Amino acid sequence: MSGKKHLIYNPEKECMSRDEMHAWQSAKLAETVRREYENVPMYRARMDAKGVKPEDIRTVEDLKYLPFMEKTDLRDYYPFDLLASPRSEIVRIHGSSGTTGKPIVSGYTRNDVDVWSEMMARTLTAAGCTKDDVVQVAYGFGLFTGGFGAYQGADKIGAMVVPMSSGNTQRQIMMMQDLGATMLCCTPSYATYLGETIREMGLAPGKDIKLKAGCFGAEPWSEAMRVRIEELLGIDACDIYGLTELGGPGVAFNCLEKDGMHINEDHVIAEIIDPATGEQLPYGEKGELVFTSITKTGMPMLRYRTHDICSLTDKPCACGRSTIRMSRITGRTDDMLIIRGVNVFPSQIETVLVKTQGVAPHYMLVVDRVNNSDTLEVQVEMTEEMFSDTVGQIENVRRYITEQIKSVVGISAKVTLNAPKSMPRSEGKAKRIIDNRKL
Amino acid sequence: MFIKQLSVFLENNPGTLRAMTELLGRGGVDMLALSIADTQSFGIVRTIINSSQIDDAMTLLRENGYIAKVNRVICAAVPDRPMGLSELLAVIEESKLSVEYMYSFLRAAKPGTAHMILRLDDGKKAEEVFEEHRIKMLSQEDVDKM
């Protein structure tokens, strides 16, 4: 026991008995499966192919009969073919990068926005937020769910929201001081950067800076980074988990025990599967995290494979919540990278190179973290098609690739042109990524 | 009138230029003119060699993993005296041509004359302008005899 004072936003839901939760999840699951079957032709076809009817899904245990959904489905049925509600009921669109050129988008009904706000209100409350707090949101506002998610949760609590969006560090710190911000929401790497800048400016946390806690997510981080952020800013640093496909941040969150993330189980059902066989694994075992939305109506995802690797536990938590918890994400089952909070797939870079060069040159992605900011270098092997006797023309090719990556992936990369055959060749899957980040 | 130039891509790392010139040298290739364009990350070696050796040089380079290309440049003769080059450049400027790069031969074919390799943004127009201004351009045959 940490002796921490635990606040719970919705004790009725967050502390319900396991039996009650099972009954609630079973009912909501059956409802959602029926909605999906009746409204989404793609999923109906997939269920029919497996010989599963909506009436076969009565309890949480029946989940295993349902077919999976994948990120590629959001690309293949982009943008609206997975909607389970009429288009006129959709009040919001959010999105993130897909596996190739196109982003993936998710449609939210009013209900879905409310569900998401509720999940984020619980998340912030678990980190100690009340209506007396000043919540500085330094996540980006846009298609990305971070900014809006944090805003909605804090707004629901009735806290004072400062929607700063990301970047402009000097201004962030000035507002933090002037308004007396007590909670911070941003990526963990930006929290570190803010902390270091605050220290360099000679400001004292606890005196000049009033922060008490922060909710940090959208990119992988470690316990070591948590300790560093907590020291720099003098706060409790809480981890949050979420993804656009499931609504956004707030799917799971740390309470102040910071021992795993509580899953908002009355809204999503979590499973861990063996990524190779698709079989469910028991609590405690590491595998791929799979989520099923059971309260969303716009674009509910059923058995959505996150490709994130972690484990689940149903051991009781000192905070009093009865919900199961997920461990930190320890890896991916695919080659997705998260760079500055943006999902990056090597296949996106390959798409750009094929499009600009007509051929797929050998390339390597080198990721690093410099001054708490992720950097991406794309090393491309020179080809005869790209080569010219003038520096200007080669620089134009390089600039064009850089611009295309920025437009397709959404982040700035440094593109370098390398000698032919300078990249390692392998018989099997080519090694495309060098990740030098020390988290 | 154009002559052939060989361009080779090199990474901007210690030893790469030495290795490339050694490869050509061991293959018996004689460089008549040479220039290196360098940026922070890569370099382009441009060289004029006897046209009879170009195919062999290209094969040698490709077999050893180099990216190389042959393209056409102008070789102009200018008087080897003060103002010789600037007079040539004045003609180029007046004709609204621009120089993408330029370098000189390593040896003079005859005393009193310098030979410049030029790549201009509009090669065809450059040829006409040079003819009009009676600027002597060397043929591939002239170069091969050097």
Parallel/antiparallel/unpaired status of strands A325-326 and A261-263:
antiparallel
- Cβ contacts of B68 on chain A, cutoff 8 Å: 387
- Nearest Cα of chain A lies from the Cα of B41 at a distance, in angstroms, of 7
Report ipTM (2 d.p.): 0.86
CA distances from A99 to A155, A183, A345, A351, A400 (A): 33, 34, 6, 10, 21
pLDDT at A1 (0 to 100): 46
pLDDT at A359 (0 to 100): 63
Looking at the complex, does the CB of residue B35 fall below 8 Å from at least one CB of chain A?
no
- Nearest Cα of chain B lies from the Cα of A419 at a distance, in angstroms, of 6
Per-residue pLDDT tens over the stretch A167-217: 899 999 999 999 999 999 999 888 988 998 999 999 999 999 999 999 999
Percent of chain A with pLDDT over 70: 96
Residue A268 has which token pair?
């999503």
| CA–CA distance, A340 with A372 (Å, rounded to integer) | 10
Q: Which residue has the higher pLDDT, A97 or A147?
A: A147
- Nearest Cα of chain B lies from the Cα of A115 at a distance, in angstroms, of 51
Strand partners, A240: A253
Residue A357 clears pLDDT 80, i.e. is over it:
no
User: In this complex, which of A382, A384, A392 lies closest to B100 when CB atoms are compared?
Assistant: A392
Parallel/antiparallel/unpaired status of strands A236-243 and A248-254:
antiparallel
**pTM above threshold 0.80:** no
Per-residue pLDDT tens over the stretch B60-71: 999 998 999 999
Domains of chain B: 3-70 (3.30.2130.10), 72-144 (3.30.2130.10)
DSSP letter (8 states) at residue A276: T
CA distances from A124 to A8, A59, A250 (A): 10, 31, 9
List the single residue in A with minimal CA-CA distance to B37: A391
- Cβ contacts of A399 on chain B, cutoff 8 Å: none
Residue A384 clears pLDDT 90, i.e. is over it:
no
- Nearest Cα of chain A lies from the Cα of B112 at a distance, in angstroms, of 29
pLDDT at A351 (0 to 100): 80
Please, what is the end-to-end C-alpha distance for chain B in angstroms? 17
pLDDT at A268 (0 to 100): 98
Residue ranges per structural domain of chain A: 11-334, 338-435
- Cβ contacts of A419 on chain B, cutoff 8 Å: 9-11, 16, 65-67
Range with the lowest mean pLDDT among A371-380, A421-430, B15-24?
A: A421-430
Contacts of A316 (CB under 8 A, 6+ apart): A322
List the single residue in B with minimal CA-CA distance to A383: B67
Over residues A135-141, the mean pLDDT reads 96
State which CATH number among 3.30.450.20, 3.40.228.10, 3.40.50.300, 3.30.300.30 fits the domain covering A338-435.
Answer: 3.30.300.30
Residue A386 clears pLDDT 90, i.e. is over it:
no
User: In this complex, which of B5, B10, B41 lies closest to A389 when CB atoms are compared?
Assistant: B5
Contact between chains at A422 and B46 (C-beta distance less than 8 A): no
Contacts of A363 (CB under 8 A, 6+ apart): A349, A350, A353, A378, A379, A380, A381, A423, A432
Contact between chains at A419 and B16 (C-beta distance less than 8 A): yes
DSSP letter (8 states) at residue A245: G
Per-residue pLDDT tens over the stretch A248-303: 999 999 999 999 999 999 999 999 999 999 999 999 999 999 999 999 999 999 99
- A11-334 under CATH 3.40.50.12780, yes or no: yes
Q: Which of A310, A303, A308, A264 is nearest to A285 (CA)?
A: A310
Per-residue pLDDT tens over the stretch B88-135: 999 999 999 999 999 998 777 678 888 999 999 999 999 999 999 999
| CA–CA distance, A223 with A237 (Å, rounded to integer) | 10
- Residue A417, burial from CB neighbour count under 10 angstroms (0-12, 13-18, 19+): buried
- Edge-to-edge strand order for the sheet containing A268-273? A268-273, A287-293, A304-310, A331-332
CA distances from A107 to A87, A146, A243, B51 (A): 9, 16, 13, 65
Q: Identify whether the C-beta of residue A271 lies closer than 8 Å to the C-beta of residue A313.
A: no
